[in-house]
Structure 1
Amino acid sequence: MVIGEVEKPVVVAVTGTHSTGKSTFLARLAHELRRVQVQVSTVADLGEQAQRIGLPILRNHTWLSTEWIITKGISDELGAWVHADVVLVDRPVSDALGYYRAALAHRGDRAEPRVMARLERIVRDHSVFYDLLLRTTLDPDIPLGCDKPRDADAEFRSLADHHVAEVLHDLDLPHRLLPADGHDQALEDSLGLVLDRLAGTRDGRP
């Protein structure tokens, strides 16, 4: 798809609470795409990077850390557009907003309406660039992963799951569910959608 003078790649994003298989699913999808000679770029989760520069995350999210993750994520995604046929996004911009809402609920706080409205506007406007948005579903029987620093509070993990889903609903962002036991089918469906979009672009269709 051409937007103005820019060729937009196919963009697939996966959102959801921690330890629900987002990174694993995207790694599998990247592998399958590369097997058929598709050039892929992956935009990684920014939580650890935010933490390294001193920004609070998870239950301590503030509007500042949320806006940094959203705007840095947008920058990283757009930068990846020029290098790939397909861009895979581990945590789209809506994800940070869901975690901020979860943090506020956990603390019993409320965001300033103007701040929340700005964040929601940025998320809504940028999300139109996702060709496929998937939301993982939480299976509480699956333990937290140990490959990266995570919040070990099961209650907050569930709270984040709820608010990530609520953001998609409130902002009316089209998405598909990625159930814990349905990754194989979702992988097949996602691969088919991406290859169809690529074929349409190469055939000159929008």
Structure 2
Amino acid sequence: MSADNEVFRPVTVAVMGTHSTGKTTFVNELAELLRQDRIEVAIVADLGSHALEAGLPILANHTWASTTWIITRGISLELEAWTRADVVLIDRGVPDALGYYEAALESRRRVADPRHLKHLEDMVVGHSRNYDYVLRTVLDPTVPPGRNKPRDTDLEFRSLAGHRIEQVMQRLSIGHDTLPSGGHDKALVNAMAFVKGRLADPTSELGWDDEQPKRGDTQAS
């Protein structure tokens, strides 16, 4: 932990990607493995249903306001989770919301206000520096959307959202590994090794944007 940090930041793993690509399943699998080793874990869940309850549009209807709400609400919940866990797992890190916003605009054939876009990008980049290990799921178009959460059944929009999330992470230089929608075994091994290594040596605290050899866009499958 650096000397200017006022709050201890636990090891943080964030998973991004379009809907029905295995994010929640992976997060829950990783949490179970960590808890079996008696590691305190907190999960920050997808905020889509909470946005709907607040009267905000989601998915293809995203607006600048709803995107700002999801990003800032997500940041608040992540900071709160820092106080109660050794490891925080995030089901949809903040880059996700920006990717969905851009996909929503494209699907409606609209263009973002440059000022709004710059504000959102600054928040995403600034907070994503707190993510130690970042994964982006890869869409398998043969897997249908799940029914346990608010979903858009428009398969074209689901694909567009995945593409836009990938673009956001590349444009903002957010280093990450890719995660296949099925077959998480190797990805779980890699994530467990990373988390345990960081817990064993907290002085090795380095994020995806530090001056170091990066994992890059390597396959976790």
Deviations 1:121-140 (A, max 9, x none): 01001100000110000000
Question: Following the alignment from structure 1 to structure 2, what is the Cα–Cα distance between the partners of residues 183 and 195?
Answer: 18
Match of 2:211 in 1: none
Which letter does structure 1 place at the counterpart of 2:30? L
Match of 2:71 in 1: 70
Match of 2:87 in 1: 86
Shift of the alpha carbon at 1:5? 2.7
Shift of the alpha carbon at 1:205? 4.9
Which letter does structure 1 place at the counterpart of 2:69? W
Pair 90,155 (structure 1): closer, same or farther in 2 beyond 3 Å: same
Which letter does structure 2 place at the counterpart of 1:59? A
Instruction: Indicate the larger mover: 5-14 or 26-35.
Output: 5-14
Question: Following the alignment from structure 1 to structure 2, what is the Cα–Cα distance between the partners of residues 158 and 197?
Answer: 34
Match of 2:103 in 1: 102
- Partner of 1:7, secondary structure, is coil
Match of 1:44 in 2: 45
TM-score scaled by length of structure 2: 0.90
Q: Does 1:151 align with 2:152?
A: yes
- Partner of 1:6, secondary structure, is coil
Equivalence map 1:160-179=2 (5 Å):
160-179=161-180
Match of 1:29 in 2: 30
- Kindly report the root-mean-square deviation, in angstroms, between the aligned alpha carbons of the 2 structures: 1.0
Match of 2:136 in 1: 135
Deviations 1:93-114 (A, max 9, x none): 0000000000000000001100
- Partner of 2:146, secondary structure, is coil
Question: Following the alignment from structure 1 to structure 2, what is the Cα–Cα distance between the partners of residues 31 and 132?
Answer: 18
Match of 1:14 in 2: 15
Number of positions where the alignment pairs a residue of Structure 1 with one of Structure 2: 204
Equivalence map 1:172-187=2 (5 Å):
172-187=173-188
Which letter does structure 2 place at the counterpart of 1:160? A
- Partner of 2:18, secondary structure, is coil
Whether the 8 Å CA contact 2:12–2:132 is kept in 1: the answer is yes
Question: Following the alignment from structure 2 to structure 1, what is the Cα–Cα distance between the partners of residues 24 and 5?
Answer: 32
Q: Structure 1 regions of 5+ residues with no counterpart?
A: none
- Partner of 2:201, secondary structure, is helix
Shift of the alpha carbon at 1:181? 3.7
Shift of the alpha carbon at 1:180? 2.2
Question: Following the alignment from structure 2 to structure 1, what is the Cα–Cα distance between the partners of residues 204 and 13?
Answer: 19
Question: Following the alignment from structure 2 to structure 1, what is the Cα–Cα distance between the partners of residues 29 and 101?
Answer: 29
- Partner of 2:118, secondary structure, is helix
Shift of the alpha carbon at 1:168? 0.1
Question: Following the alignment from structure 2 to structure 1, what is the Cα–Cα distance between the partners of residues 204 and 185?
Answer: 29
Once superposed, which parts of structure 1, at least 4 consecutive aligned residues long, lie more than 6 Å away? none
Question: Following the alignment from structure 1 to structure 2, what is the Cα–Cα distance between the partners of residues 101 and 10?
Answer: 29
TM-score scaled by length of structure 1: 0.97
Give the helix-richer structure, 1 or 2.
Answer: 1
Question: Following the alignment from structure 1 to structure 2, what is the Cα–Cα distance between the partners of residues 192 and 182?
Answer: 17
